[in-house]
Structure 1
Amino acid sequence: MFIDTIAAISSGAKVNQPIGIVRMSGIDSISILKKIFKGHIPPFDTNKKFIQYGYIYDGDKLVDEVLVMIYYANQTYTGETMIEINCHGGIVVSNWILELLLANGARLAKNGEFTQRAFLNGKIDLTKADAIHDMIFAKTKSQVELSANKFLMKTFNYLEKIIHELEFYIANLEANIDYPEYLDIEDINNEKFMHALIEISKKLEKMIQKSQRNIKIFEGIKIVILGKPNVGKSSLLNALIKEEKAIVTDIEGTTTDLIETSIQIDNILFKIIDTAGIRQAKNKIEKIGIEKGLKYLESADIIIHLIDDRAENEYDNQIVEKAKEFNIKYIKVKNKSDINFEQGIINISALNNDINDLEKILINDYKDIDYSSEDSTNNIRQLSLIRQAKASIDESIQALEDGMTPDIVIIDVNKAWESLKEITGDVNREDLLDALFKNFCLGK
């Protein structure tokens, strides 16, 4: 239990809006509220939530007419007695009420501290905390779907099955090592153990593959537009984002630096980078822009290689080779052309906004995704730990193949178990928790 009481503005801190919400959580919440609220405060009842009408006062000065929501310990988000003061919107009103709470014994909450208390008080695990964070920062409906489904704990339950299986083998192997004289301990033969580890490795690999795709969707699928100068890259960018973001002229090399922007196509977020035209640079600035474009190519998810009726040159070939080298989805698009269809090339007219065929191809790999899948995550922290767990399992498999004894093999199995438990927060480090929750909004 925490000995201090925290408070923050949950809604209405930075913009004028119809309703503001000031949140307070902790052992002294009721006593602090009584000092500034004129209205009925019901007696303690863990089975009920209360909404009370009344007024907030600063001494003799009326501050606002409010609705106060009172949640007693067991029924709250944080696991503590919690108050939410719903006031009229406006930056001044919300901040005034917050100042009164702080002056009467509360302290200002840190970013994410309400959610951190929820975790530390056992109301949520880290998978749900991650989902809450991702929901707050979602930019598209698909991102919301990915986050919302984590509230149902499907990923947690899927990982729990793997964790319990590892626990079974760890417990039995350690018991056989420490107490070989006990006959009632299940004897785990290497063949059975190897088969189990291989199956777990396959499950984790499947999770990694699905999660990499989900994270791309959540962070935005990176598209790099490449091609010769004056091929129409800026026109294509403007057509995709439906506005004049880039300067369009007939002069070669108008774009000498990168232009970055984001778009949504069918609720999928794409991050687009329009690059300087690929050619022999005429000056240092243009050279830097071209080099940046080729460097961004390496981290792209999709390359749009824009061509026209001009013959392709060594720089066009370089784009194709880079796409193959880094295994990047490659889309060849022909602009400013009315010629017949060519195999493997999408024809568009960027200036006329005729890009429907291109948009269909861009979303093709992402349109039929099951966002409720249990064997995936859209969280980088969780994916990193799943990768660590798989690496440890694979080390265990290799150790068995090399004829290592169980006391050696079990070391890596334990590492895998710890990595998966860290996802839910059952095995945690204080520095990890601080880093995680500080990225939340104030008041959450």
Structure 2
Amino acid sequence: MKPDTIFALATPPGRSGVAVIRISGPLTPAIVGSAVSGNPPAPRRAALRNIVDQAGALIDQALVLLFPAPASFTGEDCAEFQVHGGPAVIEAVLDRIMELGGRPAEAGEFTRRAFEHGKLDLTEAEGLADLIEAETSGQREQALSQMTGALRSLYDGWRTQLISIMAAIEGEIDFPDEEGVPDHLARTALLEIEALGAEMNRHLDDNHRGEKIRTGFDVAIIGPPNAGKSSLLNALAKRDAAIVTDIPGTTRDVVEVRLVVGGFAVTLADTAGLRESNDRVEQEGVRRALTRADSADLVVAVLDGHEEWNQEMTPVLGKSDLVVLNKADLGLNVTLPDSAPAALRLSIAEGDGLAELEQWLEAEVRARLGRREMPALSRARHRRNVERAREALSRAAASLGQPELAGEDLRMAIQSLESLTGRVDIEDVLGEVFSRFCVGK
């Protein structure tokens, strides 16, 4: 049974200078032949043609491109109409394509067909989705790396190594009585399994860097009331994102601001002031502040520099966090405990020290999210499957004395890696991945 021929507007809806309409499927040549007057353009050559309705009346003049299978994005016969971007034009062209047998594409259906025809694997498809959504240079670079096969190359390399190790273990099963063969194969396999397991551990031990590049690096601003937390958020955001008053406890809930720092997405969260209170609303705000600080990638503690250290912050702060001593223009009298992290002096009211804080924050984000030798895990799905492969490797190493069991564990490790790239049948995963694409891609 032939697949449907699908079509979609690949550019955002609304008015524009040019709108791109994509078609893919077996009816593509016939649709182009009927909708376009004159001879069809040569493959992969843009040509100006009239798009006409059933009676031959002009709908629009457009650039038309043909991409015969298999040398197309989806691996099927494809075409593009680059039409004028008025809503009436777009609607008329889409109606004409549907009239000729096309079906509106679902979200991600073009990319899914590309995957099904072997044009890209699942990690590359996810990289393409990330590239479409990228808002920062860090997100763009990571998405491009993944879309061009960085993760696929890594996982396929591991899969090849596992197949080689499994072949050695199968040799032990096939030649159990050959002198020296089982011991030699077991020793060789153990060394290779341990080396590959160590490489997987390095890949996993990245503090979730890839996920943070995709979703954003989370910075929680905490401290006592009226220390200047909301003022700091506004200063870094360059706008009045949070309400600032001299009334203690003004901030009751978490106020978030999205920034780009050093080419990476960063979420700044202003939180309620940490203090004892009988006000149930303020108590809830303090609870949320502590919860946010506990889950944040970085905590910035803001203190009034001429007041005492707030003991509630001691268990919240780690050595890689930051203390900001605000109101330095009024003098600094606070004594920091030995457990406190690095500190910067600041006067938000005067603007003194703000540039140094911004530089520190950028350096810290770059240090934690900057490029590494090994490509980053960008999704929980990736991490989960690599963890399963590593666990199966550990079991295989422990059961080398029973080669049948070790071989089965290695097959499970291989299957986990194949799930990452989409080599095995994982229909539920495919539906989840491609449903997140925009229509037309």
1:411 equivalent to 2:420? Answer no
Shift in Å at residue 394 of structure 1?
Answer: 2.4
Partner of 1:11: 11
Gap regions ≥5 residues in structure 1: none
Alignment of 1:27-426 (within 5 A): 27-42=26-41, 48-60=43-55, 61-177=57-173, 180=176, 188-210=184-206, 212-312=208-308, 316-324=310-318, 329-338=320-329, 339=331, 344-354=342-352, 355-367=354-366, 371=371, 373-400=373-400, 404-426=401-423
CA contact (8 A) 1:146 1:372 kept: no
Shift in Å at residue 319 of structure 1?
Answer: 2.7
CA contact (8 A) 1:12 1:21 kept: no
- Structure 1 range deviating more: 329-338 or 148-157: 148-157
CA contact (8 A) 2:172 2:403 kept: no
Amino-acid identity (%):
29
Q: CA RMSD in A?
A: 2.5
Structure 2 Cα separation of the partners of residues 89 and 223 of structure 1: 42
Shift in Å at residue 396 of structure 1?
Answer: 2.7
CA contact (8 A) 1:227 1:233 kept: yes
1:430 equivalent to 2:422? Answer no
CA contact (8 A) 1:49 1:75 kept: no
Shift in Å at residue 133 of structure 1?
Answer: 0.9
SS at 1:323 equivalent: coil
CA contact (8 A) 1:229 1:253 kept: yes
Give 1:393's aligned amino acid: L
Query: CA 1:267–1:91 in 2, change beyond 3 Å: closer, same or farther?
Result: farther
SS at 1:34 equivalent: helix
Gap regions ≥5 residues in structure 2: 337-341
Give 1:389's aligned amino acid: A
Give 1:104's aligned amino acid: L
Partner of 1:26: 25
Give 2:358's aligned amino acid: E
SS at 1:49 equivalent: coil
What's the CA shift string for 1:327-362, capped at 9, x where partnerless?
x83111111113469883111222344422222222
1:443 equivalent to 2:437? Answer no
Give 1:116's aligned amino acid: R
TM-score, length of structure 1 as denominator length: 0.89
Shift in Å at residue 223 of structure 1?
Answer: 0.5
What's the CA shift string for 1:23-67, capped at 9, x where partnerless?
110000121223322232147xxxx41322112223444322111
Structure 2 Cα separation of the partners of residues 75 and 211 of structure 1: 40
SS at 2:208 equivalent: helix
- Structure 1 range deviating more: 154-163 or 221-230: 154-163
Structure 2 Cα separation of the partners of residues 229 and 92 of structure 1: 57
Shift in Å at residue 180 of structure 1?
Answer: 4.1
TM-score, length of structure 2 as denominator length: 0.90
Shift in Å at residue 137 of structure 1?
Answer: 0.9
In the alignment of these two chains, the number of paired residues is 431
SS at 1:38 equivalent: coil
Query: CA 1:375–1:199 in 2, change beyond 3 Å: closer, same or farther?
Result: farther
What's the CA shift string for 1:389-427, capped at 9, x where partnerless?
122222333445xxx512222332222111112111112
Query: CA 1:149–1:211 in 2, change beyond 3 Å: closer, same or farther?
Result: farther
Give 2:24's aligned amino acid: S
SS at 1:189 equivalent: helix
What's the CA shift string for 1:209-248, capped at 9, x where partnerless?
2372132122110011101111111111111111111111
SS at 2:396 equivalent: helix
Structure 1 Cα separation of the partners of residues 61 and 288 of structure 2: 57
